[in-house]
Amino acid sequence: MDALKASAIRRVTTESSTGSTSSQRVHTYLTIRVKSLDFDGQAGQLHVSGQILEQNRYVTMGAHHTLDLELQRNFTLSKEIDGWDSIARKQLEEAIDTRKGTEAVALMMQEGMANIAFITATQTILKQRIEVSIPRKRAGRTVDHDKGLEKFFNTVLDSLLQQMEGILPTSSDLTATRPILVASPGFLAANFLTFVSKLATTQSNKTLLALHQSMITVHSSTGHLHSLPEILSSPTVTSQLSDTKYARETRLMTSFLDLLRKDDGRAWYGHREVERAVEKGAVGRGGGVLLISNELFRSMDISVRRRWVRMVDRVRDVEGGEVRVLSSEHESGKRLEDLGGVAAILTFPCEGLDEEEEEHGDEAGVQDPVI
């Protein structure tokens, strides 16, 4: 059982001696037994719902309430003695590591549309979507199109600067900026970099010059967020972001899918299949990798969580293999979710791990991936 204590606003209705009623909003502290979670990445809020565990003058035991957690708001999370398993402790350690944060910024665009996303160690956050109407080129007349494109570039740059407020290079440290991946079909990304460079030079703007130097142009099929895995798989990007958690996970997912295409028995996905591979000692030292979605550790069923914690502990602590817990908020994690949430790269080929699949029925609803 997880118990959460945090400040809350509760509407309280009171009845006077004459029978009239009035209501007011009061600030109080509530402790609830966690039942469900809802995370809003763009707002940076976690909504936690559950039943009241400790009553006070405003609430009764068992009543339902939703606590809203956000940055700079204190809370206390309590678990049972065996609730702080290895996965929970590691996730907590990573969450409070002040060195963690935005690892890169992705700007994906196509004519008239752009998406700005922040890539962190645990998720991809869509910060803003931009749409600007650009007139089409007409035979012998491109003035309207050029003006529309310049307006689009100005809007994109202004939005990028606004979203990066707080992580922009400063006058005291012009090197303190994140890599900015500028991706598009055709030459739009390159033209945007030229636009930024000219503007920075004209204005003698050192911040813009530093920003321009941190930009990396990449080709993408579209300007939509779903093109991010394609961008991160680019050799240009992987060399620049080789040390980021997301880039490493993207490479591992790409390696897994490459092995799956070869169909040589060294790549498996699915609950029972991967469990059998681990039982055979095939996910250990010498290249064994367990890829597992963090969604499997968020199950409200404790037995389900313990099942996957045991597997992680065995692979990492007994077999000596590598374990990667992929966030479902990242594109690589979403691809893993399509495979049932768990996959493995084996140290030696194994055949027949999918036998008796129908008897176990663990993989209902998991379809073969498009590779």
Which pLDDT score is estimated for 336? 94
Element (H, E) at 141: none
Buried b (16+ CB within 10 A) or exposed e, 35-53: eeeeeebeeeebebebebb
User: What is the Cα 320 distance to its own chain's centre?
Assistant: 27
Domains belonging to the chain, first-starting first, are 2-79 (2.30.30.870), 102-240 (3.30.420.60), 245-360 (3.30.1330.30)
pLDDT value at residue 371? 52
User: In tens digits, what is the pLDDT along the chain, a chain of 371 residues?
Assistant: 789 999 988 888 777 778 788 888 888 999 999 998 887 766 778 899 999 999 888 888 999 999 998 877 899 999 877 778 888 888 787 766 645 567 889 999 999 999 999 888 777 888 999 999 999 888 777 889 999 999 999 999 999 999 988 777 654 455 556 889 999 999 999 999 999 999 999 999 988 988 898 899 999 999 999 898 888 888 888 777 766 677 778 888 999 999 999 999 999 999 999 999 999 999 999 999 999 999 998 887 888 888 999 999 999 999 999 999 998 878 888 899 999 999 999 999 999 998 765 444 444 445 555 55
Global pTM exceeds 0.75: no
Q: How far is CA 150 from CA 108, 145, 147, in A?
A: 17, 9, 5
Q: What pLDDT is recorded for position 172?
A: 46
pLDDT of residue 364: 45
Q: Which residues contact 120 (CB under 8 A, 6 or more apart)?
A: 100, 101, 102, 103, 246
Quick check: 114 and 190 in contact, CB under 8 A?
no
Instruction: Give the Å distances, CA to CA, from 318 to 78, 227, 230, 305, 321.
Output: 29, 38, 35, 19, 8
Both tokens assigned to 33: 């037994």
Tell me how far apart the alpha carbons of residues 180 and 169 are, in angstroms, rounded to a whole number.
12
Give the sign of the dihedral formed by CA 190, CA 193, CA 195, CA 197.
negative
Over residues 228-280, the pLDDT tens digits come to 888 888 888 877 776 667 777 888 899 999 999 999 999 999 999 999 999 99
Q: Name residue 49's beta-bridge partners.
A: 36, 66
